[in-house]
Amino acid sequence: MRFDILFVLQSLAIATLARPGWGSSEKYPLVGFGKDNPIGETTGGKGGCTVTVSTVAQLEEAVQGTEPRIIRLKGSFDLPKRLAVGSNKSLLGVGKGAKINKSGITIAHGTNVIVRNLHISHILDDDCITISNTTRVWIDHNEFSSDISMGPDEYDGQVDIIRASDWITVSHNYFHDHWKSSLVGNEDSFRDIDFGHLHITYHHNYWRNEGTRGPAGRFGHQHVFNNLYEDFLYQAIHSRSDNQVLVEGNVFRGNSGEALSTYGLVIPEDSPNTSPDGDWEIDGFANLGARNDWGPATINITQVGTFTKAPYKYKLTPLRNVEKEVKKHAGLGKISV
Ligand X SMILES: *[C@@H]1O[C@H](CO)[C@@H](O)[C@H](O)[C@H]1NC(C)=O
The answer to whether residue 76 forms part of the interface with ligand X (CB under 6 A) is yes
Size of the site for ligand X (CB under 6 A): 17
Question: Is the Cα torsion angle 256, 259, 261, 266 positive or negative in sign?
Answer: positive
Write down the least CB distance from residue 83 to ligand X, Å. 14
Nearer to ligand X, 1 or 57 (CB): 57
The contact mask relative to ligand X for 29-68 (x = CB under 6 A, - = no) is -------------------------------------x-x
- One-letter amino acid for residue 268 of the chain: P
Rounded Cα distance between 147 and 101, Å, is 13
Nearer to ligand X, 188 or 325 (CB): 188
Q: Three-class SS string for 85-105?
A: CCCCEEEEECCCCEEEEECCE
Q: Which of residues 221-280 bind ligand X (CB under 6 A)?
A: 263
Nearer to ligand X, 302 or 336 (CB): 302
Judging by beta carbons within 10 Å of its beta carbon (0-12, 13-18, 19+), is residue 133 exposed, middle or buried? middle
- Cis peptide leading into residue 29 (ω within 30°): no
179 Cβ contact list (under 8 Å, min separation 6)? 148, 150, 151, 152, 154, 155, 210, 211, 212
Rounded Cα distance between 107 and 104, Å, is 10
Phi, psi of 185 (to 5 degrees): 80, 100
Catalytic-residue membership of 320:
no
Write down the least CB distance from residue 90 to ligand X, Å. 12
The contact mask relative to ligand X for 97-136 (x = CB under 6 A, - = no) is ----x-------xxxx--------xx----------x---
Candidates 116, 136, 213, 240; catalytic one: 213
Write down the least CB distance from residue 195 to ligand X, Å. 15
Q: Please identify every residue annotated as catalytic.
A: 213
Contact residues: ligand X, CB under 6 A: 66, 68, 76, 78, 87-88, 101, 109-112, 121-122, 133, 263, 300, 302
